Amino acid sequence: MKINKICCIGAGYVGGPTMAVIAKMNPNIQVTIVDINPERIAAWNDEDLSKLPVYEPGLADIVAETRGKNLFFSTEIDKGIDEAEMIFISVNTPTKTYGKGKGMAADLKYVELCARNIADVAKSDKIVVEKSTLPVRTAQAIKSILHNVGGDVNFQILSNPEFLAEGTAVEDLLKPDRVLIGGESEGAIESLAKIYGSWVPDNQILRTNVWSSELSKLTANAFLAQRISSINAISELCEHTEADVTEVARAIGMDSRIGPKFLNASIGFGGSCFQKDILNLVYIARSYNLQAVADYWEQVIILNDHQKRRFSDKMISTLYNTVSGKKIGMLGWAFKKDTNDTRESAAIYVTDHLLNEQAEVAVYDPKVRKSQMYTDLNYLNTRSEEENEALMTVHNDPYEALKDTHAIAIMTEWDEFKSYDWQKIYDIMKKPAFIFDGRNILDKKEMNKIGFEYSSIGK
Ligand code: UDX
Ligand code: ADP
């Protein structure tokens, strides 16, 4: 099928950047991103590019180049579906918070709503591409809805999981390690392959069956998360011995079978994917009664929760077993640098833990909005919104946030933190001044020289 018009349902962290790059690389295809959230669409259409709802290095330039030419943002979902030959489903699939599979399985209600919407509206044949991360066999469910509700229209379903990482989304999209397309119909697969083919070499476009494609996405994220939990497990051992986790990571990373990437010990992984996808994998394994498989992968999450918890526990015990009434400065709220996304960020859980101990937390993050931080904290439902506002303050200036603090927790590896005037920070803090570096970004010797009591992960 020749594709002239694409519609993407869901203008989020995946849909936005992916479609912007597809539009840039395919100037002859009209790409419309639709969303039920009018504020989000308005932000994508904002003249002021600093107001785009997703912050990604390089993204604003691409939006400036393509928006209004062949890239459009709209709330007219039905119109978008009707006009397009190819429809991407890129809506959120959070972990279920209710009913069967609560806390484990992916909540597919948004995906199902999209499928029903497409089935209701479509008057001509469509290729439907699942872009959201989904449990294995979701394509089958989408197919069944489309075929049973959709009348005479012919639908082809493809699985095309996205492997971009936030903070490097544009770079990852422009130079992907591979593009994965799973499907039954060779024609549909090739229609999509052609779109990626405008900038991705054909040997990097993998064609598989639908289920392999779906499972590959979950597996890729599970393997990546597992590496982090593995090095984080070693980091705890390092803290009890004379070993240094950075040195261990370098040493093992030079083994070409292991490789050097994704071996940074940290406060624990966050983000919208890793935990959700592993929980999904565990849920699927349990549903087939594969207990050993489920337990194996679940351990990755258990270790990650442990890592976050032991970070705040260490802060409390180092601060003479009490943080009550003490001001703690928190640098970073995003789950990693170069993004304004905070989903599952370790900062949320560490703050919650510290507030339970009656600390006052003062936060600074270069990109995350104040309202988002309170939303994240309130979502945990540990205390009232008023209490959270009284105990946590948010600052636009890091030096203001860190003034009179007893300790600093570094939660995100933002580059700017490294270039701060640490002597000045030391001078405005209470003494002894502690730094708990959850990202290993500062130099211990330098910090000690200034006078800080400095501790980091795995050293
Ligand atoms: C991940 C996958 O990398 C991507 O392929 C998939 O499409 C979506 O999920 P993302 O969550 O955006 O991407 O970011 P990623 O760079 O993978 O980082 C995830 C978390 O792991 C972050 O909290 C990061 O700080 C942490 N991390 C990463 C570490 O703690 N140590 C590392 O060595 C690498
Ligand atoms: P992701 O990280 O997967 O991109 P986001 O939460 O950033 O997830 O984005 C998903 C987007 O999908 C949100 O902007 C949400 O409003 C949108 N969305 C969810 N359900 C629907 C739907 N039925 N129709 C249109 N948009 C939807």
Residues 15 and 159 in one domain: yes
CA 439 to chain CA centroid, Å, is 17
Tell me what percent of the residues of the chain surpass a pLDDT of 90.
93
Q: Which two tokens stand for residue 98?
A: 């209710």
Residues 410 and 328 in one domain: yes
- Structure confidence by residue, pLDDT tens digits, 311-355: 999 999 999 999 999 999 999 999 999 999 999 999 999 999 999
pLDDT for residue 447: 98
- Ligand whose nearest atom lies closest to the CA of 131: 2
> Is the model's pLDDT at 398 over the cut of 90?
yes
**Is the distance from the beta carbon of residue 166 to the nearest atom of ligand 1 less than 6 Å?**
yes
Tell me what percent of the residues of the chain surpass a pLDDT of 70.
100
> Is the model's pLDDT at 150 over the cut of 80?
no
Question: Mean pLDDT across the stretch 6-24?
Answer: 98
Q: CA 268 to CA 303: how far, in whole Å?
A: 9
Which residue's alpha carbon is nearest to atom 14 within ligand 1? Answer: 165
> Is the model's pLDDT at 55 over the cut of 80?
yes
- Ligand whose nearest atom lies closest to the CA of 9: 2
Which residue's alpha carbon is nearest to atom 17 within ligand 1? Answer: 165
pLDDT for residue 106: 87
Q: CA 166 to CA 171: how far, in whole Å?
A: 10
Burial class of residue 396 in the structure, from the number of CB atoms within 10 Å of its CB (0-12 exposed, 13-18 middle, 19+ buried): exposed
**Is the distance from the beta carbon of residue 353 to the nearest atom of ligand 2 less than 6 Å?**
no
For 249-260, b where at least 16 C-beta lie within 10 A, e where not — what string? beebeeeeeeee
Q: Measured in angstroms, how far is the CA atom of residue 260 from the centroid of ligand 1?
A: 15
Q: Which two tokens stand for residue 30?
A: 């009209």
Residues 304 and 403 in one domain: yes
Q: Which of 208, 226, 258 is the last residue of a domain?
A: 208
**Contact by Cβ (8 Å): 242, 215:** no
Catalytic positions are 273
Q: Measured in angstroms, how far is the CA atom of residue 187 from the centroid of ligand 1?
A: 34
Residues 191 and 232 in one domain: no
- Alpha carbon distances (Å) from 288 to 281, 282, 293, 355, 385: 11, 10, 10, 40, 41
pLDDT for residue 353: 97
**Is the distance from the beta carbon of residue 344 to the nearest atom of ligand 2 less than 6 Å?**
no
Q: What is the CATH classification number for the domain harbouring 243? A: 3.40.50.720
Residues 269 and 200 in one domain: no
pLDDT for residue 269: 98
pLDDT for residue 149: 83
Q: Measured in angstroms, how far is the CA atom of residue 40 from the centroid of ligand 2?
A: 10
**Is the distance from the beta carbon of residue 133 to the nearest atom of ligand 1 less than 6 Å?**
no
**Is the distance from the beta carbon of residue 311 to the nearest atom of ligand 1 less than 6 Å?**
no
Residues 397 and 412 in one domain: yes
**Is the distance from the beta carbon of residue 161 to the nearest atom of ligand 1 less than 6 Å?**
no
pLDDT for residue 274: 96
Question: Mean pLDDT across the stretch 401-420?
Answer: 98
Residues 274 and 197 in one domain: no
**Is the distance from the beta carbon of residue 92 to the nearest atom of ligand 2 less than 6 Å?**
yes
> Is the model's pLDDT at 284 over the cut of 80?
yes
- Structure confidence by residue, pLDDT tens digits, 198-209: 999 999 999 999
Query: Which pLDDT band holds residue 1 (cuts at 50, 70, 90)?
Result: confident
- Structure confidence by residue, pLDDT tens digits, 95-123: 899 999 999 888 999 999 999 999 999 99
> Is the model's pLDDT at 151 over the cut of 80?
no
Residues 203 and 238 in one domain: no
Query: Which pLDDT band holds residue 192 (cuts at 50, 70, 90)?
Result: very high
Strands 30-34, 407-410: parallel, antiparallel or unpaired by DSSP?
Answer: unpaired
Which residue's alpha carbon is nearest to atom 28 within ligand 1? Answer: 262
For 162, the domain range is 5-208
Q: Measured in angstroms, how far is the CA atom of residue 89 from the centroid of ligand 2?
A: 9
DSSP string covering 218-271 = HHHHHHHHHHHHHHHHHHHHHHHSS--HHHHHHHHHTSTTT-STT----S---S
Which residue's alpha carbon is nearest to atom 7 within ligand 2? Answer: 12
Residues 59 and 196 in one domain: yes
**Is the distance from the beta carbon of residue 7 to the nearest atom of ligand 1 less than 6 Å?**
no
Question: Mean pLDDT across the stretch 4-28?
Answer: 98
pLDDT for residue 139: 87
Q: Which of 171, 186, 208 is the last residue of a domain?
A: 208
CA 170 to chain CA centroid, Å, is 14
Residues 81 and 201 in one domain: yes
Residues 47 and 76 in one domain: yes
Question: Mean pLDDT across the stretch 8-27?
Answer: 98
Number of structural domains the chain divides into: 2
Query: Which pLDDT band holds residue 134 (cuts at 50, 70, 90)?
Result: confident
Strands 205-208, 179-183: parallel, antiparallel or unpaired by DSSP?
Answer: parallel
Q: Measured in angstroms, how far is the CA atom of residue 5 from the centroid of ligand 2?
A: 20
pLDDT for residue 140: 87
Index of the ligand 1 atom closest to the CA of residue 167: 12
Query: Which pLDDT band holds residue 438 (cuts at 50, 70, 90)?
Result: very high
Side-chain half-sphere exposure of 90, counting CA atoms within 13 A: 26
Q: Which of 157, 177, 208 is the last residue of a domain?
A: 208
Q: Measured in angstroms, how far is the CA atom of residue 9 from the centroid of ligand 2?
A: 7
Q: Which residues contact 280 (CB under 8 A, 6 or more apart)?
A: 95, 104, 105, 106, 135, 218
Nearest residue to 231 (alpha-carbon basis) of 1, 457, 5, 4: 457
Q: In what order do the strands lie in the sheet with 392-394?
A: 392-394, 360-364, 327-331, 407-410, 434-437, 453-456
Residues 347 and 400 in one domain: yes
- Ligand whose nearest atom lies closest to the CA of 440: 1
Index of the ligand 2 atom closest to the CA of residue 37: 16
State which of 36, 113, 116, 173 you would mutate to test the pocket of ligand 2, scoring each by most atoms of that ligand within 8 A of its C-beta: 36
State which of 223, 224, 344 you would mutate to test the pocket of ligand 1, scoring each by most atoms of that ligand within 8 A of its C-beta: 224
**Is the distance from the beta carbon of residue 132 to the nearest atom of ligand 2 less than 6 Å?**
yes
pLDDT for residue 136: 78
Other C-beta atoms closer than 10 Å to the C-beta of 100 total 8
The gap between the terminal CA atoms of the chain, to the nearest Å, is: 57
**Is the distance from the beta carbon of residue 17 to the nearest atom of ligand 1 less than 6 Å?**
no
